[in-house]
Structure 1
């Protein structure tokens, strides 16, 4: 605690929303009075430090990522060589995605130098409703935060259960026609999934079962970035 009351309360609200939180959950997790929690959450939302998802639950907002990207980040620093090595090992473009509300943001990438490739520029926002990267970012989320999204997803709850079981995801023409991908989780020191590492490329090269060829390499790359 810093001793600055309003700042400590605002941080408590932010910490309470890591996995999404209703107003009742904000009160329970932060220990703040209902009126105080609601007022601070609304103020943080006005500054884009919090956003509300389709279920009305508060989640960390895009301004946090913008501020974080202005400072050196251990994950992004480590990602550059890992993505390059994964690209060279698989021959495919590689990406690192973070979830931001109902989108996933490409925060690092390594592209093939030539030939047909799936290019995802750094900073690109893609929907959280399609693609293997989206599957990974949702598979370990609490059910109450995933269920409202499923009607719009190109994959099912059964697909997410399979991703959790085997530890990786694949997609074929799910996000974009002609594109296949394989993704695996990146975890923090507590074991929580914080990012998805992916390879992507044309179906004609990766095939209809891309995980059979590349899942092990993608999983190992995710493990190298975990726990930073």
Structure 2
């Protein structure tokens, strides 16, 4: 299918943004992904950085920029957060724990939607909170289905191992005990976009005393079912 709009520079800029949708990329990786000449990719990427549509991470790689989030919010077209509301409330009520949606942004993960436990001891993660990709069940989920090189890169200084991520892929869910914060346990499952790619992690979190040291045994079924419901909703909406 021809995706050309007839405006060459716009089409090429869109190719750069598409290439950054799944992960950060170096200039060489962008050249490979787009098939465009290196000088062209460099010129486009730098221009997109100027307009905050693209940013640079601490390793100098290109990542999607904050302006895209602002535009999506202003247009009301973030289907993930729109669809997540009812699912998060149902998950919170079913488990009695706080529920969140995380998306990856460079070397961090961002909470883009949440439903807090209304009373009692809870793990509070406000929308917009930026957390490390080095620990936590959501980080495991967001990394487990990455390509081999990206996965190995993400394991550097991580509090989980390749064996743990292999288990996440096999089971379809992740759990953590005090990885992100002492005393906090969590369970997460992948949310997939229409292409089947993992685009977010759906999580519940709370004190280990309540979730126990095997939180997946208690809650993996309901978390995975909620992630499937959200995935199906996104598929139907054509995100």
**Alignment partner of 2:227 out of 215, 218, 222:** 222
Cα gap change, 1:50/1:158 in structure 2, threshold over 3 Å: closer, same or farther?
A: farther
**2:176 counterpart residue number:** 171
Establish whether residue 116 from structure 1 lines up as the match of residue 121 from structure 2. yes
Q: State whether structure 2 residue 40 is matched by structure 1 residue 36.
A: yes
Question: Structure 1 pair 117/110, CA: closer, same or farther in 2 (3 Å)?
Answer: same
147-156 or 134-143, which deviates more: 147-156
Q: Any stretches of 5+ residues in structure 2 without a counterpart?
A: 235-239
Report the alpha carbon displacement of residue 218 of structure 1 after superposing the two structures with TM.
0.2
* Alignment partner of 1:70 is 2:74: yes
What is the number of residues matched between the two proteins? 228
Q: C-alpha distance in 2, partners of 1:131/1:71? A: 32
- After superposition, the CA RMSD in angstroms is 1.6
The 3-state SS of whatever aligns with 2:75 is coil
Q: Any conservation in 1 of the 2:143–2:154 contact (CA below 8 Å)? A: no
Structure 2 residue 212 is the aligned partner of structure 1 residue 212: no
TM-score, normalised on structure 2?
0.89
SS at match of 1:87: helix
Structure 2 residue matching 1:186: 3-state secondary structure:
strand
Which residue does 1:102 correspond to in 2? 107
**In structure 2, C-alpha distance between the alignment counterparts of 1:66 and 1:176, rounded to whole Å:** 29
Tell me by how many angstroms 1:76 deviates.
Answer: 1.4
Does the CA-based 8 Å contact 1:61-1:100 persist in structure 2?
Answer: no
Closer/same/farther in 2, CA of residues 205 and 220 from structure 1, 3 Å limit: same
Q: Which shows bigger deviation, 47-56 or 79-88? A: 47-56
Moved over 6 A (4+): none
Gaps of 5+ in 1: none
How many angstroms does 1:112 deviate by? Answer: 1.1
Provide the rounded CA distance (Å) in 2 between the counterparts of 1:149 and 1:108.
24
Give the corresponding residue for 2:136.
Answer: 131
Which has the higher mean CA deviation after the structures are superposed, 53-62 or 152-161? Answer: 53-62
Confirm or deny: 8 A CA contact 1:19 1:59 kept in the other structure: no
TM-score, normalised on structure 1?
0.93
- Could you tell me which residue of structure 2 aligns to residue 191 of structure 1? 196
